Structure 1
């Protein structure tokens, strides 16, 4: 999220918006915004409804749930949802006409689309 914050001025200069969607509750989302000094909009996707619509939701296996609990991570508290589901991390560049210009999804949450790829897609878009 911080890497995308760094390119926000260029995104805005190219006439685009930067919006993140998080499974966290609105309170936790607000805390994330403040903690990371984010100046773009982060929306709460309670119950992963948006992510589910894109086929990006998975349920954590029991052994992962137990690991989270042993580490003191209460996912249901963060997400205000008892499902123990998470969305895959994805980045999408969507044109004004609603068409997807660029998409990137990876099952490894440590792998994210490079910010430069977003800028390249915005610069190459028609119109």
Structure 2
């Protein structure tokens, strides 16, 4: 089964997150290393750029994520701007477009069978990445229903904050 292969090949907690530089929906480039210079990051791979429920959940989570000094970034497959769907330009966080599926492949999330349109397909997943690039939480969504677990994401960020506070000299 393809989904099981993806869960085996996907990067996991404890590993270093592959760096990426992707064109941002609003123009410019979103670079993981630049985000990590400011603090931890939540990376959310979406199977579709039209999953309004996921974007709403992440948008609602954004204020608490920011309190932890972290940034959310969403990675979506390519899409036509004129296609109907949520307005990604109104998101309170960057949305990068993985045009060739290269980032999804680097994370081991590229499904082997392409979409009938010929585009690659990505297994939805969410990662919490510490400033040093190490993944501290990986949520791989084999059901393609929901890989955003607010309590787990916030608990991982709180754990990172506690660890930073305890490691600072007094």
Could you tell me the TM-score, scaled by structure 2's length?
Answer: 0.56
Offset of residue 92 of structure 1 = 0.3
Q: Does 1:56 align with 2:109?
A: yes
Following TM superposition, by how much is the alpha carbon of 1:38 offset from its aligned partner in structure 2, in angstroms? 1.8
Could you say if the C-alpha distance between residues 114 and 19 of structure 1 is closer, same or farther in structure 2, counting changes exceeding 3 Å?
same
Which SS does the other structure have where 1:55 is aligned? Answer: coil
Which structure is richer in relative contact order (CA contacts within 8 A, separation 6 or more)?
2
Aligned Cα root-mean-square deviation (Å): 2.4
Partner of residue 58, structure 2: 4
Q: Show structure 2 runs of 5+ residues with no match.
A: 1-54, 165-170
Query: Which deviations, in whole Å up to 9, do the C-alpha atoms of 1:11-58 show, x marking residues without a partner?
Result: 111100010111124737996414xx4211110011111010111101
Aligned length: 107
Q: How far does the alpha carbon of each residue in 1:72-127 deviate from its partner, in whole angstroms, 9 at most, with x for none? A: xxxx4xxxxxx332110000000000000100112221122311211110001121
Change (3 A) 1:58 1:32: farther
1:47 aligned to which of 100, 103, 112: 100
Say if 1:19 and 1:40, in contact at 8 Å, map to a contact too. Answer: yes
Q: 1:96 to 1:52 in 2, by over 3 A?
A: same
Structure 1 stretches lacking a partner, 5+ long: 66-75, 77-82
Equivalent-residue separation in structure 1 for 2:97 and 2:119 (angstroms) = 16
More helix by share: 1
Closer, same or farther: CA 16–10 of 1 in aligned 2, 3 Å:
same
